[in-house]
């Protein structure tokens, strides 16, 4: 089995690549989706979040009040750390559960903050980075989500620098100035390469 850590800055095309790899038969484990599920109503993190931050951070439906938490985490790095201390072990356990349940020969761990979090590198065999210029990131995020360029820039500034991400990569897909079909061809080539290596 080959374990791939997939990462890339916002708008790089990481999710698109994850979808293409899933179409090839990879088991894609989406750590962002796991984090979201943990903080929905009835999610495994809700009780701990309520104890740590109080009822104000749980909305009427019983889910994490994301806006409120975002504001707090932005203002107080210590609060952000406390939230991460709650979420990381739960994300790790659910990720491991999904990985153990899959019989795919290639597992892809989709981790937006793989470079930033540090603990991920040891858990995967290879790191695949999807890369593009910052201008392309901004253009895609503005088009996809209707964000302002300033919002896109603010998120990019919080993520790892492009150079740091590239320095940690075992493989890079340059997703800039190419069509989706060309991106698909790059993923096909990488998939074939991994199968030969396995």
Point out which residues bind ligand ADP (CB under 6 A): 8, 10-16, 140, 144, 175, 178-180, 183
Q: Please, what is the minimum distance in Å from the beta carbon of residue 187 to ligand ADP?
A: 11
Smallest CA-to-CA distance from 59 within 46, 72, 45 is with: 46
* DSSP labels, 98-120: HHHH---SEEEEE-TTHHHHSTT
Taking the least distance from each CB to ligand ADP, the nearer of 52 and 142 is 142
Taking the least distance from each CB to ligand ADP, the nearer of 10 and 35 is 10
Taking the least distance from each CB to ligand ADP, the nearer of 71 and 180 is 180
In the bound state, the residue with its beta carbon closest to ligand ADP is: 15
Taking the least distance from each CB to ligand ADP, the nearer of 49 and 173 is 173
Q: Please, what is the minimum distance in Å from the beta carbon of residue 70 to ligand ADP?
A: 18
Angstrom CA distances, 152 to 33, 139, 155, 158, 173, stand at 21, 9, 5, 10, 21
171-182: buried (b, 16+ CB within 10 Å) or exposed (e) per residue?
ebbbbeeeeeee
Judge whether 115 and 165 are in contact, CB under 8 Å: yes
Taking the least distance from each CB to ligand ADP, the nearer of 16 and 95 is 16
């Amino acid at each position: 089995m080959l374990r791939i850590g997939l990462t890339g800055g916002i708008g790089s095309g990481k999710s698109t690549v994850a979808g293409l790899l899933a179409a090839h038969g990879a088991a894609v484990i989406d750590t962002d989706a796991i984090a979201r599920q943990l903080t929905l109503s009835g999610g495994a993190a809700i009780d701990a979040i309520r104890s740590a931050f109080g009822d104000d951070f749980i909305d009427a439906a019983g889910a994490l009040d994301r806006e409120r938490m975002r504001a707090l985490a932005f203002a107080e790095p210590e609060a952000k750390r406390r939230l991460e201390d709650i979420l990381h072990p739960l994300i790790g356990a659910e990720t491991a559960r999904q990985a153990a349940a899959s019989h795919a020969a290639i597992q892809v761990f989709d981790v937006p903050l793989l470079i930033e979090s540090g603990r991920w590198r040891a858990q995967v065999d290879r790191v695949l980075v999807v890369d593009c210029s910052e201008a392309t990131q901004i253009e895609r995020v503005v088009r996809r989500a209707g964000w302002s360029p300033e919002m896109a820039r603010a998120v990019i500034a919080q993520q790892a620098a492009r150079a740091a991400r590239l320095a940690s990569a075992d493989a890079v897909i340059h997703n800039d100035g190419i069509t989706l079909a060309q991106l698909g061809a790059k993923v096909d080539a990488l998939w074939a390469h991994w199968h030969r290596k396995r």
